Amino acid sequence: MSPPVLDARLHLTVQPGLFFVSQLQEIPVSIIDLLQSNNNRFLSLTRTSEEISIVGEWYHDIPPAFESDACWKCIKVNGPMDFALVGVVSELTAPLKKALISVFIASTWNTDYLLVKEKDLEYAVQALKDDGWTFL
């Protein structure tokens, strides 16, 4: 699959603000409260038998312990995407691999979120544009 320049569902948007990526030993009550609140900011929690990972949009209600991890920028695939689409993450990350930019991927039912270190954002956007991706 080459970059889907004509499909608006697969266009990209750089999300405002900073994001954090962290690994937890346990889930703080404050995070559980945020997950149960009406707050509509990005917050993703994944628990496996090996770890607990959290990714979220940094803002004042996030516990201060995550502030040092808030050095990421987020590129959102516009979405919503059909589950029949294959290779989207592979195509998104290929030009970043060539540019030696590391990524963290978070996926939801509707779309994918590609996180890059804040210092790499400009290079990541340029690498994706050079590869044919469209930014809104």
Domain at 119, CATH number: 3.30.2130.10
- Tens-digit pLDDT profile for residues 30-88: 888 888 888 888 999 999 999 999 999 988 777 788 788 889 999 999 999 888 888 88
pTM exceeds 0.85 for this model = yes
Say what the pLDDT of residue 4 is.
58
Whether 79 and 134 share a structural domain: yes
Question: Of 11, 2, 104, 6, which Cα lies nearest the Cα of 55?
Answer: 104
Statement to judge: residues 8 and 36 lie in one domain: no
- Cβ proximity of 14 and 125 under 8 Å: yes
Question: Are residues 112 and 65 located together in one domain of the fold?
Answer: no
122-132 in b/e form (b: 16+ CB < 10 A) is eebbebbeebe
Which residues neighbour 28 within 8 Å (Cβ) at sequence distance 6 or greater?
A: 63, 65
Q: Is the pLDDT of residue 3 over 70?
A: no
